A and B are shown apart, each in its own frame.
Chain A
Amino acid sequence: MRDERVNWFSKLVTVLAYTFILAPMIIIVIISFNSGEAIQFPPSGVSLRWYEYIVTGPTNFLKGLGNSLKVAAIATVFDIFIGVFASLSVTKYNFKGRGLLVSFFTSPMFIPSISFAFVLLRTTAAIKMMTPFSKILVGHLIIILPYIIRNTMSILVNYNWTVEDAAASLGANPAQVFFKITLPLIKPGIISGAMLSFLYSFDEAVISSFLTSAKFLTLPVQIINYLEFTFDPTVAAISTILMAASLVIMILINKFVGLDSMIN
């Protein structure tokens, strides 16, 4: 009776679908511990040699990692500021053209990254003082903004604004109301949105590969460049570490807001 509605067909397809989704990632983890020279499955033995090679090999992946972290951190912090204010403006107040403003705030989502990357490449080429770092930063600022705004808005839509009035009527000034009442209540949503946006920027490779230079490479661009010439399990080792980090972030998000909030 319990699973009567779920017939064997949907069970079978589910097994297929999740094998399809997970297999490449599981295989990456397995081959990263291979002790042999090339990519082998099953591995000829277990070793950490490819993990060592991340640091000892010719490509300075640590520098790329540092660059990616820097871009992602600055872009996320900047966007939290402007994004939370923007979300407040369209959730707290009801006015004509509100829907239009929301569409405007999330507009970068509707433009293909490749087109925006190309436009940035052309327009920033004319500005001499812009370094590859600042170009990539500007690109990332824009493309992660909609995610911060949508995440914050989804929290604010269900927010009970009367608690603000209550605080104000008890004598709190607007700054106190915001920092002592509103901010603590919406903080979990902001943090989870920030972590997702950070990860999006960290993993982003379209804008980065268009605006990069030999002097400033992000980790995903380094991986793409490396794959062009070498096909050993080094990238598998890096990928395994990054996937482990993503897993930690997912557990943290689950703790802050629950994974259900990510389903929409």
Chain B
Amino acid sequence: MDTQLPVDGDQGLAVAITGSGGSGAVTAGLILLAALARAGYYGLLTRSAGPQIRGGESAAMIRFADRPVACMGDRFDIFVALDWNNVSRFVDEIPLDAGSLILADPAGGPVPEPIARSGARVLEVPFQVRARLLPEGRVNMVALGALGAAIGLPLAALEAGVEQTLGGKAKAASLVETSIAGVRLGYGPGGDSDAPLPPRVLDRWNMSGNEAAGLGALRGGLGFVAAYPITPATEILEWLAPRLERLGGALLQAEDELASVNMIIGSSFGGVPSLTATSGPGLSLMMEGLGLAVASETPVVVVDVQRGGPSTGIPTKSEQSDLNIAVYGLHGDAPHLVLAPLDIRDCVFTLHWAMRLAEHLQTVAICLSDQTLGQSRALCDPPTPFTGDLRRATAQAPEPDAGLPYRRYAASPDGVSPMAIPGTPGCMYTADGLEHGPGGTPSAAAVDHITQLAKRADKLTGFDFGPHWGEVFPAEPGTRPATEHCIVTWGSAAGACREAAEQLTRTGHPTRVVALRLIAPLQRQALGAAIAGAASVLVVEQNHGAQLFHYLHAEQALPREARSLARPGPLPLRPGTIVAAVLHPATQEV
């Protein structure tokens, strides 16, 4: 190997492994991620695939560094082509330039023109010839070895990555053996093959956003899930099903989303903290049910792993375009919570918090994750636990001869009334989607409607959500950084915004990021304080309609001169795009 790229510990290195379906690009990426973890790096792996169930092109994109990786960058350092079938389709998703390196097999033909146009150097490695030296040798393992050598990863780390990733599979022993042999052949003699491994980092986690959302819900006391499969949310359910039942809970695969949302309303009525996971089309189907949960004050949590919409849209690609339906999609006046995790690790915290908030406030919490968070994996620090004590207030059996009937929806100072759980003697009541009086009895009286509307709104607006409503970067305890620019964003866009702000600050344009975790009810005062003092405000989000921008304006939470950068999926928001939008306002007006 005559080429090795130095790893910039701060900015890290970005690599992409691509190939046609079945070539094992994603498997190689997952092994590389595990190997990077073993070598002590932080990292992020995103994947891209065509819509085919099997076959079609796929790519694993990995960025790693000595510090947590917030997003994919503006360019890739290394492009590994296991073959060139349809791989040109990734030309927009994997930007290369003259500083990039392409690792490809000359037997696969010349580098396709759309990729060659980048001017990247090409390093030819005979993947196929080397793989054929082994019985059942695989091209992807040979390529992984060559890539590992190019980035200076110790061979032992790659071997550990293979063990960890493939060790649990069927026929693991022979699979691991063959794969390691392939990695060694690809690694060749030139790499740093004898470099010792650094000590294992004991508290480094490797997880996807969908797994993290499931874990957060478990931390939040989840006991029941009903759901209908939908891309890209299904992995939450697949991860939860075998684990929830081992913790005494259960998961039910429903006949559709109309059923799943009503099932969790039923289980929650039964006293069990409950959740469903879906994507945009499923959320649309659930809306009537969520109105019932609001009216009957039954706590439920919905995770919407957003994808390109509307309708079937682009099911395998990410977009932040369900904010409007999450905030405004319910009929009637139906106050509820809308939250959004800010990165993969934060999926644990946000779901944990959402479960506790829903239980405590007896309301609906919609959590807006997306495909980028859900189906990517991070090497990260252990997630921060939510430490507050929020729980459902339950009614106890009354003293004999107390004489007062149980009033499920009685007014209370904080708008929350103790909820009797079936099985509690003396507190029988009917939960109702009809407007009702304090006892739950159906009522069309103006006084009851006004009282109950106010109760359901006040319990949310009057609640002290504390410091978790959002994150401000850079965080400076006590004082807000006096920056020139302020980027306001939400959900998964926070990562690219943070990196953009760092670039801007480094180049003489101090910039802060305000990332909203709690979107509704909007914490206007806290947001206002976080924005205050900035000469320019840019609202950044991954959708076409500038949904957050318009929402914040509707809530009168933005200065008049605030601007919008709204870019739809499927391409990720890149730091460079955001930097340009901050510095060149004229080209970015909505």
On whether the two chains bind one another, the answer is no
Residues of chain A having any CB pair with chain B under 8 Å: none
**B contact residues vs A (CB 8 Å cutoff):** none
